Structure 1
Amino acid sequence: MIGLVQRILAKLRSLWFACVHAPRFGRCGRNVLLYAPFRVNGGEHIGLGDRTVMQRGAWLYCEPSEGQSGRLHVGSGCVFGYNNHITAVRDVVIEDHVLTANNVYISDNLHSYEDVGVPIMHQPVRFKNAVVIGEGSWIGENVCIIGASVGKNCVVGANSVVTHDIPDFSVAVGSPAVVIRYYDRSAGRWESKGVLRQGKG
């Protein structure tokens, strides 16, 4: 009985979201749900795939740089933890069935700091690199991904800071994150290494 009530409530929340909030987005699939409170900036540049769910405290931001196009695309079947912050000035793509823990930050940009005569808060935000989070990956608690991509079916351990690309089928940890385990396709098994060079695997 409790399970039935929960399913009914989830369906009602999805319908409410579809009627009230979905029009704010460039694309919003079926059965999408962002639990309130959440914040959206530049919704017209943001796409959400079917059955994607974000827990409370989500902030989705896509404000393209002047004269540039921009997109923040989230695939289908993704589940995001509490207080996730995803920001794009040009290109962030999260593929299908990505799972995140709480307090995850994903960004294709950073603040300029080079002018020592100007407070950093008054210096421009600049694009670093496009970000792709590959299908089926798991992003742990308090992870920051800044201007780097994560391959398919990867694990990024808690508290990691990803600033370089992580190849498919890898486990990465640390600040900056390094690959400590990867799937060897030729051997058909997972292998452990102290450090795997970025881009290999």
Structure 2
Amino acid sequence: MFTKFFWTIRALLYSPFFGKMGMPSYLGKPLFLMGIKRVFIGKKVRIFPHLRMETHQEGSIHIEDDVIISQNVHITSAGNLSIGKSSLILANVFITNIDHDYQTIGQHVVKQKYHVKDTAIGENCYIGMGAAIMAGTVLGKQCVVGANAVVRGTFPDFCVIVGAPARIVKKYNPDTQKWEKWKE
């Protein structure tokens, strides 16, 4: 509790440097922040230590209300990246909307152009430990992403996504009100 008091003070001190910092929110000691004038954080957002968050070019990051971001998370954007309200992102997760071109032989990949595809995480999603949410991913409401999943593509509301590459293994059935195995 005492630690979170200091994290709240840190959020207040950092708030003028963000595009928006809703209160009450708290921010554990970040590892790296870049371009945060284009980062918009809602109310009651809890960010644990060692966050790396960066925007490039005209990219933006929108984190809605009541989101929890665990430690050692890396979020990078050169386009539109959004995280829906009440989502939980566990430790060691990577979220991006950037792919690097690699076509030019003999030129460092970092010096080649970006391929940007908007990325959106729906509301009330659960992103498991070590997952990678890649450029162009769109998760519907209340999706569950398994640990170490590599996610790319569009996924509907109420599904469980696992694997590398990620695929749907369960969906919520509103008729039976149960999570059921998914058969393609």
Q: Distance in 2 between matches of 1:45 and 1:15?
A: 21
2:126 is matched with which residue?
138
Contact persistence 1:72–1:91 (CA under 8 A): yes
Unaligned runs of 5+ in 2: none
Q: Does 1:17 align with 2:7?
A: no
Q: Distance in 2 between matches of 1:16 and 1:118?
A: 40
Unaligned runs of 5+ in 1: 1-5, 197-201
Q: Does 1:177 align with 2:163?
A: no
1:44-63 mapped onto 2 (5 Å cutoff): 44-63=37-56
Amino acid at match of 2:41: L
Contact persistence 1:143–1:156 (CA under 8 A): yes
1:82 is matched with which residue?
71
Q: Does 1:34 align with 2:30?
A: no
Contact persistence 2:11–2:21 (CA under 8 A): no
Amino acid at match of 1:121: V
Contact persistence 2:25–2:46 (CA under 8 A): yes
Q: Distance in 2 between matches of 1:162 and 1:35?
A: 27
**C-alpha root-mean-square deviation of aligned residues, in Å?**
1.6
Q: Distance in 2 between matches of 1:119 and 1:11?
A: 44
User: Secondary structure at 2:9's aligned position in 1?
Assistant: helix
User: Secondary structure at 1:86's aligned position in 2?
Assistant: strand
- Deviation of 1:125 after TM superposition, in Å, equals 2.4
% of aligned pairs identical? Answer: 27
Contact persistence 2:76–2:95 (CA under 8 A): yes
- Normalising by structure 1, we get a TM-score of 0.85
Contact persistence 2:124–2:143 (CA under 8 A): yes
- Deviation of 1:60 after TM superposition, in Å, equals 1.2
How many residues align? The count is: 183
